[in-house]
Structure 1
Amino acid sequence: MNMQPSEVLKPNLGTMPEPPPSYATDGAEMPFGIEEMFFSKTDKRGVIDDFNDVFVRVSGFSGEDLCGAPHKILRHPDMPKAVFWLLWNGLQNGEAVGAYVKNRTKDGRYYWVFALAAPVADGYFSVRIKPTSEIHKQVIALYEEIRAAELTEKLTAEESAQRLLQRLRDLGYPNYGWFQSAAFGLEYEARQQALKAPPMMDVVNTKVASQMTQDLQRELAALAAEFDGAEILTANMKIFAAKLDQGRAVINEVAKNYDLMLRDIQGHLKTLLALPQSGGIWSTPEGQKASFMLCGYHLLDEVVHDYEHEKIKSGDPATPEEMHQIQSLRSGYKGHSDDAVSDCVKSALTIQRRIEFLLRMVLGLSTIRIACRVEAGSLRQSAHGLDTIVGRLDDFQDRIETRMVGIQQLATDILDRIGRPQGNVK
């Protein structure tokens, strides 16, 4: 977690103390098993006040060394200041934060973790796992790049964080929230596979539903674009009508009615489009948020079990207060996940119902289009070219009906995957 108490009070995070001196083992990796999971808790200043045995063994510090020490004693000089700036930014805004961290042991070795840190009542709690996914390799290279920029360009921690966020955007992550959700999901999945543990079906289903929800929004956006593009068809129809000696009023009225119905459908459709994510660091779609929190919930489940077992084995049982904090955090992850899943379900159900309504409105467009075709037939040669416009209307309606049916199916798949709400949802 690498807490830095001095940085909570000072906006410039670039004035960190020098890392501990190198030892003979500097550069060697400290091994630990993928099944091992260690944690620590700090107060609000970042001073360690609780930890488990795995943390003691891997860090190389004794319990006496760790208790009351600032968490930054583990900081490795290869770590970009940007990561800690983001970590503190998230924690101080009440966010659970996931980050890759390279730590330094007491004897100068290093070890990588994926840390999940979150605020608790009187400080911060962090649980760490061994990173094994492919994305970790990309992160190592990215950290080297950012750290080199910090040193050569004398970047402040905030400037470096902005550089890191830009590089993440270059890699396809709109902000850090998107990145941490993707990374945590991959690390959790890789760990489950390495342990040959059965997949957690709630995590699997939520992850799939999250992807479906993003696909659903892309399809809705594409459908909206189709309707925006259709405005030129009615404009062409009106232009064509203006050139007619006979049938001008009829064709113009057809174009007017078609245009009015198009705009009505466009208005309904826009209410289904998700608002663009804010430019903030942590905003993510509900499905991604649910997946992130579910993975955290299952890890905390392991922590609770292991912590109780460790305390009993040591003959120093955990106090009710200690257990309450961990269990409350675990419940919080589950609660956030449940809320996010519920929002996804409600959104899918609303889209499913509203698309059914819009399909009925499209039938009205078909009626107007047929009237246009009939009029084109009655005008014969004088309306040559109107057939082309009607043909384009046919193609347009075929496309939008196909898209709408596909959107309905996606919404149904999401509801089938993560469940339908009980009772009425408006």
Structure 2
Amino acid sequence: MNTMTVNDFEAAKNPVQDYARSRTVSEVNVEEPFNVEEIFFSRTDTRGVIEAYNSVFVRVSGCSASELKGAPHKIIRHSHMPKGVFWVLWNGLQHGQSVGAYVKNKSKDGHYYWVFALVTPLEDGGYLSLRIKPTSPQLKLVEELYKDICKLEQEQNLSPEESAKVIAQRLADLGFPTYGAFQAHALHQEFEARRIAIGLPPFPDLTQSETLAVTSEKLRQELNNLTAEFQNAEILTANMKIFAAKLVVGRATINEIAKNYDLMLKDIQNHLKTLAVPPVDRGLWDAPKELSAYFMICASHLVTEMCEFFDSEKHHSEGVDWEAEKHLLDQLRRSYDLKSEKAIEFGLQSAMAIQRRTDFLQRMVLGLSTVRIACRVEAGMLRDHAKGLETIVSRLDQFHDEIEAHLEKIKLYVATILHSVEHPD
């Protein structure tokens, strides 16, 4: 598929619309209104030249249908938008990613309007951008971020890529390790804020996905905590061996117990490597599949709504092949449906795998506990010959209590995930 760079996008020309594109419009600090229940889209070719749209886009942009068709999408670009945001946008599209982004646009008369845009590469080439009105508290945070980034771009003469790196770092500081994680969170926030504003009931599949994502993150953290506990436990066996070396009576027995405990501890540590999941922070678009399900499900519902709304616009689609655009929207909806189903299925399979491995881990911990009991029995028999061994046994008991607590939480989280998938309502 042919793709374009930011520079290609800026350079896109159409002599027929040269006047509409080249004129300079003074920006004024007046918001161009559109309602929260409204939804609109535009479709471009691979160079970013507008090929189709719906009536809401025509109205909000302030341009006529003839001015929009064949014009580069930059005719609605506002100067308050950081170059880095568009670098992120095109980077995602060129990697086949659907991209969600907050965008401040400019109407023909210089007014501004904020949208949350869902931009998707199409199978046959080109891109479709679906937009809703952002109403969540996230927008205020983004406004301040964009203001800061624009200032840095000017002061430090940042390239689009350099600006994008600054944006990524700022998002990481806010708790989003990748842009993929941020856009999933942002789309979910905007979708839910809009749903509540319109007065729609919760969507069962989104509620299910939210349970899956939130619980999976808790499960991931608990597994990592458990791994850390077992790594820290190595000092217990080291102390046991040091203590055994100082004994006159019972040295061989305590030393053997320490060796057995150490071997079993290492087996468990190796098993935990199949369970613990590191945080996703490898690339710009990486995100846990459970979190990505948020994005896909919200996108699917929005495209479905766009399809329904476009049906009502059949007789108001000036300059647009209604049948062709409706077909593309239906294709897009099915694509998002499939992706969200795969993400949820991945979460289910992962939970089932963790359940099996956790059951096996509990059996391993039970075996480890028998060695601990042997140490306690030996401490009781040695008594005055092994003063201080009781302290080690007490620490072992505390360690095993903490392990059991972690395992109980892990089982609870796994059960919650399985129940949410098996009983989505």
TM-score range, shorter chain: over 0.9
Contact 1:311 1:317 in 2 (8 A): no
The verdict on how the C-alpha distance between 1:66 and 1:165 changes in structure 2, with shifts beyond 3 A counting, is same
- The reply on whether 1:136 has 2:135 as its aligned counterpart is no
Q: Distance in 2 between matches of 1:6 and 1:385?
A: 70
Work out whether residues 224 and 276 of structure 2, in 8 Å CA contact, stay in contact via their aligned partners in 1: yes
Report the Cα offset of residue 376 of structure 1. Answer: 1.0
Which amino acid letter does the alignment assign opposite residue 161 of structure 2?
A: E
Question: Counterpart of 1:236 in 2: which secondary structure?
Answer: helix
CA contact (8 A) 1:19 1:76 kept: no
* Higher deviation after alignment, 275-284 or 224-233: 275-284
Task: Please name the residue that 1:158 is paired with.
Answer: 161
Equivalent position of 1:209 in the other structure: 212
Native 8 Å contact 2:42 2:53 kept in 1: yes
Distance, in Å, in 1 between the alignment partners of 2:262 and 2:28 is 72
Equivalent residue for 2:302? 299
How far apart are residue 389 of structure 1 and its match?
0.5
Give the one of 260, 264, 273 matched to 1:261.
Answer: 264
Runs (4+) of structure 1 exceeding 4 A deviation are: 8-12, 312-320
SS of 1:290's equivalent? Answer: helix
Counterpart contact for 1:372–1:390, Cα < 8 Å: yes
Equivalence for 1:96: 98
* Counterpart code for 1:114: F
Alignment equivalent of 1:33, drawn from 9, 32, 35? 35
Deviations for 1:247-280, whole angstroms, at most 9, x for unmatched residues? 1111111001111111111111111112442421
Displacement of 1:317: 9.2
Distance 2:40 2:316 in 1: 16
CA shift for structure 1 position 10: 8.8
* Equivalence for 2:16: none
Aligned to 1:107: 109
Within a 5 Å distance, the mapping from 1:60-99 to structure 2 comes to 60-99=62-101
Cα gap change, 1:201 to 1:66, in 2 (>3 Å): same
In 2 relative to 1, CA 108–206 (structure 1 residues): closer, same or farther, beyond 3 Å?
A: same
1:177 to 2:199 alignment: no
Query: What is residue 59 of structure 1 aligned with on the other side?
Result: 61
Structure-1 residue corresponding to 2:238: 235
Could you tell me how far apart the structure 1 residues matched to 2:194 and 2:69 are?
Answer: 29
Q: Distance in 2 between matches of 1:167 and 1:148?
A: 14
RMSD value, Cα: 2.1
Unpaired runs of at least 5, structure 2: 12-20
1:345–1:419 Cα contact (<8 Å) kept = no
SS of the aligned residue for 1:76 comes to coil
**One-letter amino acid matched to 1:362:** V
Q: Which amino acid aligns with 1:7?
A: V
Counterpart check, 1:331 vs 2:334:
yes
| Helix, strand or coil at the partner of 1:107 | coil
Aligned twin of 1:15: none
The alignment status of 1:7 with 2:6, answered yes or no, reads yes
Aligned equivalents of 2:178, 2:298: Cα separation in 1: 20
Asked whether the equivalents of residues 19 and 75 of structure 1 are also in contact (C-alpha less than 8 Å), the reply is no
- For 1:247-326, list aligned pairs within 5 A: 247-312=250-315, 320-326=323-329
Q: Say whether the 8 Å CA contact 1:5–1:70 is kept in structure 2.
A: no
- Report if aligned partners of 1:311, 1:318 keep a CA contact under 8 Å in 2: no
Equivalent pairs: percent with the same residue?
51
- In structure 2, what is the equivalent of residue 225 of structure 1? 228
Change (3 A) 1:219 1:319: same
Q: SS where residue 395 of structure 1 aligns?
A: helix
User: Structure 1 unaligned runs (5+)?
Assistant: 13-17, 422-426
1:50 corresponding residue in structure 2: 52
Give the 3-state SS of the residue equivalent to 1:303 in structure 2. Answer: helix
Aligned mate of 1:342, from 341, 345, 370: 345
Cα distance in 2 between the residues matched to 1:175 and 1:20 = 38
